A = this chain, B = another copy of it.
Amino acid sequence: MIAPLPDSPFPGERLLPRRIGIDTGGEHVVYLPQASPACHGEGFGPHSRLQVSIGDRHLMTTLAIVQGRWLAADEIGLCESAWLNLQPAEHEYATLSHPSSVESLSNVRAKLYGGTLADAQLHAIVADIAAQRYSNVEMAAFVTACSGDHLTLDEVAALTGAMVDTGARLHWPNPVVTDKHCIGGLPGNRTTPIVVAIATSLGLVMPKTSSRAITSPAGTADTMAVLAPVQLDIGRMRKVVERTGGCLVWGGAINLAPVDDMLIRIERALDIDSPGQLVASILSKKIAAGSTRVVIDMPVGPTAKVRGMEHARTLERMLLAVAARFGLGLTVLGTDGLQPVGRGVGPALEAHDVLAVLRNLPAQPLDLRERSLALAAAVLEAGGRAEGAQALAVARGCLDDGRAWRQFQAICEAQGGLRAPGVAPYRHPVVATREGRVEAIDNRRLAQAAKLAGAPLSPLAGLAVGVRLGDAVARGQPLFTLHAQSPGELAYALEYVARHPGIVDVGAAP
């Protein structure tokens, strides 16, 4: 249909890549001077999407235009993430081209207009996101389109499969590979390090990869990063598992289902969740990690992520149905989600709780201990090591006699060495304004206060909860103490707490 072109389509302007040291924290941004021939010759303007090629590496980027003299006409500035992706060698030039239109965006649009996406359509979306062809705004539209109850079971399964297919996939020699996961929303619920220590000390294989916080004040990887190196590549992770039977590493360094992490970055900015994406996120990571038996901790409570029994049942059904399609054995454990677990909320504060339980210290938080034991028992059952009450007794014995603690130390040593967590320099108690009894705790607002105090990016930040539901408190007694690494963050959290006085609800004394 087209007559031959008079010239080559792109004159192929060769630009000098320059590392300008700007960290945008997300999107790949490149900078061209207003005088650049690329702006005139190719019609690029501010916020254009363009493809930058250096050697055989290509990257989709967003353009900013620079006025003034700090870039020469034949230069292109690269932000840190673009530089690290493209890795220009000396004497290498960059060329620019218009990105081919991202066709899978029409699938996102179809979903917005109420359509149902086929397997191939979701694979196309996920492949384009994996190839970094989506801008932040486009990813936000996809995340939003999938939120609420907008995904069917078939779509969730397709999304799961697509996310597995676009990343690394681990294979283990063992026929049974166990794993656990907690559906968040319950501050301080840091059972994973304890469960892994118990299960692997009893001979099960549990190569645990964890995520950083999505919308919470700490993920397991954030807490473990306080205690030991967690950023291991696949080879080093494998060595740790060969030596100890387990590990506690950050999944992001392993490149399992990397699209999940990209979506999570946007979900975090938006602070939204979707059951379908949640299921795909959890199961894609587990499948990619090579797990065969998985235990899910699902706290249920009015201010937990899963708010009620109906929501819990929907999510459990979806989890079991999608897991079955991938041949994954799954146990879902509904747990009490009414109040925080342990005392600490925030990476280091939770690490202190984990150590207290593992070391069996007198001051350990008993609720964290009991939850960890229940989950460890479920993992032992799933792994065929013991059943029912006996599984719980075996787990308890292992924690009581110090085997779990020795095993945890062995894992941390194998990962690079156990470290002692610190304490934040700025602390401020939030006290009861009257005598009475603790009637309710708002997990969401408590988590929000910990986040405003700086968690998880400031690892020592967060808060320590001093009371539990039903406790009698005196006027002036601390309910929780905010921890921060800067005075500004402390003030920010305190301002939020002042605006929301009922985070720990103290009812009148009887």
Please report A residues at the B interface, Cβ cutoff 8 Å: 1-3, 5, 7, 9-11, 20-26, 31, 40-43, 45-48, 63-68, 70, 79-80, 97-98, 100-101, 105, 109, 112-114, 135-138, 140-141, 143-145, 147-149, 266, 269-272, 274, 428-433, 448, 452, 454, 457-458, 461, 484-492, 494-498, 501
Contacts and interface: CB of A to CB of B under 8 A. Distances in A.
Contact of A498 (B2, B70, B136): B2
B24 A46 contact: yes
Q: How many copies does the complex hold?
A: 2
A486 B43 contact: yes
A93 B26 CA distance: 28
Contact of A452 (B101, B112, B140): B101
A306 to B, nearest CB: 13
A497 B1 contact: yes
A25 B64 contact: yes
Contacts of A430: 1-2
21 contacts: A2-B497, A3-B429, A9-B492, A20-B70, A41-B487, A41-B488, A43-B454, A43-B486, A45-B457, A64-B79, A70-B70, A97-B488, A98-B488, A98-B489, A98-B492, A105-B271, A114-B149, A138-B140, A140-B140, A140-B144, A141-B144
Contacts of A272: 109, 112, 141
Nearest to A149: B114
A207 B148 CA distance: 43
Contacts of A2: 428, 430-431, 494, 497-498
A28 to B, nearest CB: 12
Contact of A67 (B23, B66, B431): B23
A114 B148 contact: yes
Contact of A47 (B26, B433, B486): B26
A20 B77 CA distance: 14
A148 B113 contact: yes
Contact of A144 (B64, B112, B135): B112
A7 B484 CA distance: 14
Sort A-B residue pairs by CB-CB distance and give the 10 closest, nearest first. Answer: A25-B46, A25-B47, A9-B491, A21-B67, A140-B140, A42-B488, A144-B144, A21-B68, A23-B65, A23-B46
Given A47-B25, A148-B112, A486 B454 contact: no
Contacts of A431: 1-3
A3 B45 contact: no
A58 to B, nearest CB: 16
A356 B243 CA distance: 82
Nearest to A31: B22
A43 B489 contact: yes
A67 B47 contact: no
Identify the interface centre among A64, A428, A452: most chain B CB within 10 Å of its CB. Answer: A64
Contacts of A45: 25, 457
B43 A498 contact: no
Given A41-B486, A112-B147, A112-B148, 11 more contacts: A1-B498, A3-B431, A22-B67, A23-B46, A42-B489, A47-B269, A97-B488, A98-B452, A109-B272, A135-B269, A141-B270
A105 B267 CA distance: 13
Contact of A270 (B10, B113, B138, B486): B138
Nearest to A81: B46
A80 B31 CA distance: 14
A490 to B, nearest CB: 8
Contacts of A63: 25
B487 A9 contact: yes
A498 B448 CA distance: 52
Contact of A140 (B10, B20, B43, B141): B141
Contacts of A68: 20-21
Contacts of A491: 5, 9-10
A21 B31 CA distance: 11
A448 B101 contact: yes
A43 B112 contact: no
A433 B140 CA distance: 41
Contact of A501 (B1, B143, B148): B1
